[in-house]
Amino acid sequence: MTETVHMDSTDFVILRELQNDARITNRELAKGAGIAPSTCLERVARLRRAGVLLGYTARIDPGAVGRVLEAFLAIRVRPHRRPVVGPFVEHVRARPETRALYHVAGPDDYLLHVATTGVRDLQRFVLDELTSQDVVAHVETTLIFQQWNGGPVRPAADPGNGPDAKLVE
């Protein structure tokens, strides 16, 4: 059940801390937020119910599991209509190479982040999984040499978002 939630600075601290370390204990989280552990537990549950907290994930180095080449694929589909979009998205999301898929505005329709075992695997993916589909009109590949993650997402209303705000990581 989703509920409307009013967030205050304590909620912002909780969100920032969970983004920095989703495995933090409730006791440590409560201490960082300056509240009692029982209060912290209820706030986290409220943020989950409201759909603010979407889940917890493990980040894995693709290279460590044999997917040493990453790329962005800019894709155009034709026709760009709902009956085409749904099946295309399902097909792409089901592929083990897919890291993320974005529906975008501009000259391309999708931006796809993939991780493959190498150049031949990337070529196979583009030819066999993408351009073999009649709806795919264009694919442009950009290799990723290195990646840096941004800091935690801070709500727009967070008082710590001013020009002098320091990112806590």
Residue-wise pLDDT for 113-161, tens only, equals 999 999 999 999 999 999 999 999 999 999 999 999 888 888 776 655 5
Domain total of the chain: 2
The verdict on 80 and 48 lying in the same domain is: no
Same domain? 53 vs 66: no
Q: What are phi and psi of 81, to 5 degrees?
A: -130, 155
72, 133: one domain? yes
Domain containing residue 18: CATH number: 1.10.10.10
* Residue 125, domain extent: 62-144
CATH classification of the domain holding 131: 3.30.70.920
110 strand-pairing partners: 75, 103
140 and 66, same domain (yes or no): yes
Query: Concatenated DSSP letters for 115-167?
Result: EESSHHHHHHIIIIIITTSTTEEEEEEEEE-----------TT-GGGSTTPPP
Residues 50 and 91 in one domain: no
Same domain? For 93 and 44 the reply is: no
Residue 94 and residue 134 in one domain: yes
Q: What is the pLDDT of residue 161?
A: 57
Tell me if the pTM is above 0.85.
Answer: no
